[in-house]
Each structure stands twice: as structure tokens, then as C-alpha cells.
Structure 1
Amino acid sequence: MTFNFKDALGVHADALQVRAERTKVLAANIANESTPGFTARDVDFGAMLQDRIDSENGEMSLGEGDPLYRVPFHPSADGNTVEIGVEQAAFSQNASDFQTSLTFVNMQLRGLAKAINGQ
């Protein structure tokens, strides 16, 4: 009998990958806060996760999870759309959500280890 870890971990493994990709995008925004003309970007977590799930099921992806440009609340004179407070809040929330998914994966792996050991 074969065992598929993908089925055992559910959506949380994919969620970790999408959160990691979003972290890269948000970190790039923060790093380019003072770059003239830099346009802040973000990803739609739900659409990107759904694209990943659909591609694993063999369905066509519409590309809805591609990074999107963020519209600033207060545009700057140099054309940079990064607002550091917004980016830091998004980064912090994303880190918290990443930790939550990681906790679920760890709990599932511990449960599998107990089952394997017969506990």
C-alpha cells in the first residue's frame, strides 16, 4: 500500500508554498521603498492557491494568481507606489498566516508519526 503525503497534509502544504511566494513579493516591495518609479505588487492568495490546486487536479489554470499591482492610498511624486506601513502590515499578517499553516502541517505529521509507531 502506498502512502501519499500530499493527501495526508491537505491544502496546508500548498498554502505554505503560496505564503512563501507572497513573502518574496512583499519583501521586494519593502526593499524598494525608496526606488523611484517602483510599483508595489501583491498576490491574491486565494486565487493563487486555487490555481495550484487546480493544476494538481489536471484542470486548466486561468492565471488568476499572478502578482498584481497595488494601488497606493497616497501616491508619491517620484512614482513609487510602496507605502511602508501597508507593506509591513501585509508582511506581518502573511508571516502569521504562514506560521498557522506550518502549525497545522506539524500537527498532521505528529499524528502520522504516532500512527506509524502504533500509539
Structure 2
Amino acid sequence: MGIQFEQALGLHADALRLRAERSKVLASNIANVSTPGFQARDMDFRASMEQLASGDEDGMLAVSDGPALGYRRPNQPSQDGNTVELGVEQAAFSQNTADFQTSLAFLNMKLKGLAKAINGTS
């Protein structure tokens, strides 16, 4: 009888992948803060996780091929058409980093629990 890691780890591994993908998107926004006409993008993390939890095949594609991205609406439109607002992007990136660390901690606890079960130690 083998261990089914996908069942044992739950959605934590998928959450880490989605958080990493969101970090790339937010970093791209920050890197293009001065690019005229650049449109800030973001993903709806909650909707992507709900899609994964429902077992929807599109949700699995969101993890492997990249989640569906939407455009961010700026609070203050710029004259050059760039919709990146540095403060908003930095706050979102910081929050995503903290959430990534939390997901990583949960995954680490799950793995430690599995190791204890396998080794028979308490």
C-alpha cells in the first residue's frame, strides 16, 4: 500500500504553485512601472483555488499552463497609459509573499507528520 502524496498534501502544493505564479505576474508589473502603455495584470487566487478544489480540469490547466489573468484597474490613470501603481503592486507582492510563507509552513507540517507516521516516531 503506497502513499498517495497528492491526497496527503491536499491543496497546499497547488497553493504554492499558484502563489509562485502570482509572484511572477506581480514582479512583472513592478518591473514595467515605467513602461508606457503597460497594462498591470493579476490573478484571482481564490477563484483559481476554488477551481482546483472542485476538481475542474480547467483548474488543473490553471496550475500547469498558468492561471487566468485579468487586468488591474488603476486608481489614478496615467497619461502614458501605464496602469501599474507601484504602491499597490508592492503591497500585493508583499501580501503574496507572506501568504506563500504560510502555505509553505502548512506543507512543511504535513510532510513532518507524514515522516513521523512512516518512521513510527512521535
TM-score (norm 2): 0.88
What is the rounded CA distance, in whole Å, between the counterparts of 1:105 and 1:11 in structure 2? Answer: 9
**What are the superposed Cα offsets for residues 60-104 of structure 1, whole Å, 9 maximum, x if unpaired?**
538995100000000110000000000000000000000000000
Structure 2 spans left out of the alignment, 5+ residues: none
Residues 115, 60 of structure 1: alpha-carbon distance in 2 compared, 3 angstrom cutoff: closer
The match for 2:49 is: 49
The match for 2:58 is: 61
Structure 1 counterpart SS, 2:58: coil
Residues 116, 60 of structure 1: alpha-carbon distance in 2 compared, 3 angstrom cutoff: closer
Q: Give the partner amino acid of 1:86.
A: V
Q: Give the partner amino acid of 1:77.
A: Q
What is the rounded CA distance, in whole Å, between the counterparts of 1:115 and 1:49 in structure 2? Answer: 28
Deviation at 1:46, TM superposition (A): 1.1
Report the identity percentage.
62
Q: Give the partner amino acid of 2:58.
A: S
The match for 1:111 is: 113
What is the rounded CA distance, in whole Å, between the counterparts of 1:2 and 1:50 in structure 2? Answer: 28
The match for 1:78 is: 80
Structure 1 spans left out of the alignment, 5+ residues: none
What is the rounded CA distance, in whole Å, between the counterparts of 1:67 and 1:111 in structure 2? Answer: 35
Residues 83, 19 of structure 1: alpha-carbon distance in 2 compared, 3 angstrom cutoff: same
How many pairs are equivalent?
116
The match for 1:22 is: 22
Q: Give the partner amino acid of 1:6.
A: E
Q: CA RMSD in A?
A: 1.8
What is the rounded CA distance, in whole Å, between the counterparts of 2:117 and 2:2 in structure 1? Answer: 15
